[in-house]
């Protein structure tokens, strides 16, 4: 195990060797290199294996998703009838609309307070290569407006996040693209880990953990680019395919993210999604995680994580095997350094 500490952040890697029979050489055993890394922030692990071809070679056909199949609550003919306003005492306007987006209460009772944000109520399907910075900015801004309303209304609630599933491999039950927020008295599991790690690092050093991570990665092989105060990088030990992180340097929680940084996040997400399309990937999750009422005291910075999921193909192979589900250890065949190098070019040209 090799541990490298940069700027107070530990990067831990083990170089292993797998001994396997070579099918092309009569089953003669050969040695194949294998690397395991430990994520410096969450403590989760990634295992990099060779020549496994886990990434799709062809683009999935999503053309039939363009036509509305069955009832869709977010399509123009239904959306005003089947969505409800927020209570007046929380959101005075009832529903929140920015551009073509709409934010309304989620009917699924998964958090004490929540919302669903539809990117665009005028069209049923947005292909992964069609997410413009504008439509992402509109719905993300509207979700953050809702977050501020909730946190003003109930100041005991402090754990906020805005999250997305896109198509069924990521967990989405509706094709019409939307995102979801959670505002609660208790943190989500990895939100708790992140806040605890930030608080411990701040107590020990007086500095921000994620700002220190950015400083440790800046100009390195995993750093992608900055847009304003938002830094984009590929994480050291990704949780899945082509994961990208964005650290909002000038905020301590979701409710103090500026319009400029919301715009930077939207631009970065749009670029990552267009890269996913270029790499034949068609499904993703993202999570924008806030730091709670003590974010400023703990030196917290909001963290966006975006990761590609298995493609919506009939020959479905889940990207969540027992490695990921039971051990919190992703099995990957692409290093984050490759993802960052590819994305750096796209960010530079944008
Ligand atoms: Zn629809």
Domains in the chain and their CATH numbers? 74-350 (3.30.428.10)
In 80-102, which positions are buried (b, 16+ CB within 10 angstroms) versus exposed (e)?
eeebeebeeebbeeebbebbebb
Compute the distance from residue 72 Cα to the ligand 1 centre, in Å.
Answer: 5
Question: Cβ(282)–Cβ(62) under 8 Å?
Answer: yes
Q: How far apart are the first and last CA of the chain?
A: 39
Compute the distance from residue 59 Cα to the ligand 1 centre, in Å.
Answer: 23
Question: Cβ(79)–Cβ(73) under 8 Å?
Answer: yes
Compute the distance from residue 178 Cα to the ligand 1 centre, in Å.
Answer: 10
Compute the distance from residue 82 Cα to the ligand 1 centre, in Å.
Answer: 12
Please state, in angstroms and rounded to a whole number, the distance separating the CA atoms of residues 199 and 181: 24
Report field, pTM of the whole predicted structure over 0.85: yes
Beta strands, E only, 7-108 = 9-22, 28-38, 45-48, 96-98, 101-104
pLDDT of residue 173: 86
Compute the distance from residue 151 Cα to the ligand 1 centre, in Å.
Answer: 30
Compute the distance from residue 123 Cα to the ligand 1 centre, in Å.
Answer: 6
Q: DSSP readout, 232-267?
A: EE--SS-SSEEEEEEEETT-SSGGG--HHHHHHHHH
Compute the distance from residue 240 Cα to the ligand 1 centre, in Å.
Answer: 28
Compute the distance from residue 23 Cα to the ligand 1 centre, in Å.
Answer: 48
Compute the distance from residue 306 Cα to the ligand 1 centre, in Å.
Answer: 23
pLDDT of residue 68: 59
Question: Cβ(273)–Cβ(131) under 8 Å?
Answer: yes
Compute the distance from residue 278 Cα to the ligand 1 centre, in Å.
Answer: 25
Compute the distance from residue 63 Cα to the ligand 1 centre, in Å.
Answer: 14
Compute the distance from residue 102 Cα to the ligand 1 centre, in Å.
Answer: 13
Compute the distance from residue 69 Cα to the ligand 1 centre, in Å.
Answer: 9
Strands 113-118 and 178-184: antiparallel
Compute the distance from residue 289 Cα to the ligand 1 centre, in Å.
Answer: 27
Question: Cβ(116)–Cβ(80) under 8 Å?
Answer: no
Please state, in angstroms and rounded to a whole number, the distance separating the CA atoms of residues 105 and 86: 6
pLDDT of residue 67: 67
pLDDT 10s digit of each residue in the chain, 350 long? Answer: 999 999 999 999 999 999 999 999 999 999 999 999 999 999 999 999 987 777 788 888 877 776 656 899 999 999 999 999 999 999 999 999 999 999 999 999 999 999 999 999 999 999 999 999 999 999 999 999 999 999 999 999 999 999 999 998 898 889 999 999 999 999 999 999 999 999 999 999 999 999 999 999 999 999 999 999 999 999 999 999 999 999 999 999 999 999 999 999 999 999 999 999 999 999 999 999 999 999 999 999 999 999 999 888 776 778 899 999 999 999 999 999 999 999 999 999 98
Please state, in angstroms and rounded to a whole number, the distance separating the CA atoms of residues 49 and 139: 38
């Amino acid at each position: 195990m090799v541990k490298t500490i940069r700027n107070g952040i530990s990067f831990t890697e083990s170089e292993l060797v797998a001994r396997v029979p070579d099918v092309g050489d009569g089953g003669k055993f050969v040695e194949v290199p294998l690397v395991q890394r430990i994520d410096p922030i969450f403590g989760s692990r990634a295992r990099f294996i060779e020549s496994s071809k886990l990434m799709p070679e062809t683009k999935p056909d999503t053309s039939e998703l363009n036509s509305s199949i069955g009832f869709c609550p977010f399509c123009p003919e239904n959306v005003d009838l089947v969505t409800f306003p927020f209570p007046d005492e929380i959101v005075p306007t009832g529903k929140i609309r920015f551009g073509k987006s709409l934010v309304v209460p989620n009917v699924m009772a998964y958090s004490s307070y929540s919302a669903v944000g539809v990117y665009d109520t005028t069209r049923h399907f947005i292909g992964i290569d069609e997410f413009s910075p504008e439509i992402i900015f509109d719905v993300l801004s509207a979700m953050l407006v809702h977050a501020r309303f909730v946190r003003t209304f109930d100041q005991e609630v402090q754990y906020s996040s805005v999250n997305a599933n896109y198509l069924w491999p990521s967990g989405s039950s509706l094709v019409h693209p939307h995102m979801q927020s959670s505002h609660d008295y208790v943190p989500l599991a990895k939100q708790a880990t992140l806040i605890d790690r930030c608080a411990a690092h701040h107590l020990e050093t007086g500095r921000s953990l994620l700002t220190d991570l950015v400083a440790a990665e800046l100009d390195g092989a995993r750093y992608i680019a900055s847009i304003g105060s938002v830094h984009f990088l590929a994480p050291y030990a990704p949780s899945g395919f082509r994961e990208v992180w964005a650290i909002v340097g000038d905020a301590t929680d979701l409710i103090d993210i500026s319009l400029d940084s919301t715009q930077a996040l939207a631009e970065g997400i749009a670029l990552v999604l267009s890269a996913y399309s270029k790499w034949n990937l068609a499904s993703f999750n993202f999570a924008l995680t806030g730091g709670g009422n003590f974010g400023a005291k703990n030196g917290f910075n909001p963290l966006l994580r975006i990761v590609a999921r298995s493609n919506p193909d009939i020959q479905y192979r889940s990207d969540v095997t027992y490695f990921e589900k039971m051990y919190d250890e992703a099995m990957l065949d692409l290093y984050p350094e490759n993802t960052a190098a590819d994305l750096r070019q796209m960010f530079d040209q944008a």
